[in-house]
Structure 1
Amino acid sequence: MRQFIAETCSRLLQRLHAVRWLGPLVVRLVFGYFWLETGIAKVHNLDGFTQRFVGWGIPFPAFSAGLSAWTELLGGLLLMLGLFTRLVTIPMIINMIVAVTLVVSSNLMGLDDYVEADEVVYTLIFLWFLIAGPGKASLDTLVARWLRIRTQD
């Protein structure tokens, strides 16, 4: 029985290893689409979004709102494509740090609140993409192959 379980687990792990490229692809597509969609909505209602920045007391509200909205839109698109993935996560992380610092933190009372804040989770996902990269099924991987750059994937 022990041998059967070991062999079954081994076969399952081999199959999962063969499709390990699928995890980053699915997360990139869904997470990127989320940011693309929110960015489009904010760009289309930039006046309303700017008024929210005014209410939050964010400096240079018109400029900051536009920068934030376009960062989300373009960042989401590039993340979905897997193009400049590591580079695009940097402004996305900055966007989330600003959101946590200037907007969300006033409603958070303790460590549990911070851990449960959406913006903190988003920051961690962006950090994962910054460190791990986009995965094999990405334009970044195709460009790296074309340039003959070795990757760990």
Structure 2
Amino acid sequence: MAITVPAPRRATLLVACAAAIYRRVTDALEFWAAPLLQLAIRLWIARVFFLSGLTKIADWNATLFLFQEEYKVPLLPVPVAALLGTTFELGMPVLLVAGLMTRCAALPLLGMSLVIQFVLGASNPDYDNTEHFYWMFLLLMIVIRGAGPISLDHLLSRWIKPLRP
């Protein structure tokens, strides 16, 4: 004798089964893939800025010339802008790679990307470099989501219990 399940009940069971499978897949992705993706994003964006910083310290006179003639950063004297830009490009990527103070490290790089795209790009009508938008999106993701589980931030947050009133 075969057991028959009414059609509405079968549909409910199929939906429940599909929902359970979907939940298991998304949980697995969140547990395994998301941390690796967050690490990959941190490493990639850190590399972009670190290599730019290395280029700047390779020839400081050329860097000063670029800041004076091409970049023309408003409000800051040329040597100060060059020093700050280079310092951020060399220092913040180290923090991103380590995953230490990651949100704070991403903020100056986000600011630099905004200046590059909207201040320097606006002054040059032929400027069309959408790559900086990708940098901004990735840096925003770091600022919003943090470093992820594969980071010193995560390790420290588990080791040092937050103070609660």
Q: With the length of structure 2 as denominator, give the TM-score of the two structures.
A: 0.74
How many pairs are equivalent? 146
Partners of 1:32 and 1:77 within 8 A in 2: yes
Task: Give the drift of 1:101.
Answer: 3.2
Matched residue SS, 1:106:
coil
Structure 1: gaps spanning 5 or more residues = none
Residue 27 of structure 1 and its aligned partner are, at CA, apart by 1.1
Tell me which residue corresponds to 2:52.
Answer: 38
Tell me, what secondary structure is at the counterpart of 1:119? Answer: helix
CA distance in 1, matches of 2:119, 2:95: 26
Structure with the greater alpha carbon radius of gyration = 2
Is 1:81 aligned to 2:95, yes or no?
no
Aligned to 2:148: 135
Return the alpha-carbon distance in structure 1 between the equivalents of residues 82 and 143 of structure 2: 24
Cα distance in 2 for residues equivalent to 1:63 and 1:122: 24
Alignment deviations for residues 127-152 of structure 1 (CA, whole Å, 9 cap, x no partner):
111111000000111111121139xx
If each structure's helix is expressed as a fraction of its own residues, which one has the higher value?
1
Question: Is 1:71–2:88 an aligned residue pair?
Answer: yes
Q: Do the aligned residues in 2 keep the contact of 1:35 with 1:72 (CA within 8 Å)?
A: yes
> What is the percentage of aligned positions where both structures have the same residue?
24
SS across alignment from 1:25: helix
- Secondary structure at the aligned position of 1:94 is classed as helix
User: Offset of 1:25 from its aligned partner?
Assistant: 0.9
Mark the CA change 1:117 to 1:11 in structure 2 (over 3 Å): closer, same or farther. Answer: same
Equivalent residue, structure 2, for 1:90: 107
The Cα of 1:9 is off from its aligned counterpart by 5.2
Find out whether 1:149 has 2:154 as its counterpart: no
DSSP-derived class of the 2:122 partner: helix
User: Structure 2: where are the runs of 5+ without partners?
Assistant: 1-13
SS in 1 for 2:123: helix
Letter in 2 for 1:126: L
2:133 to 108, 120, 133: 120
Compute the RMSD of aligned alpha carbons: 2.8
State TM-score, norm by structure 1: 0.79
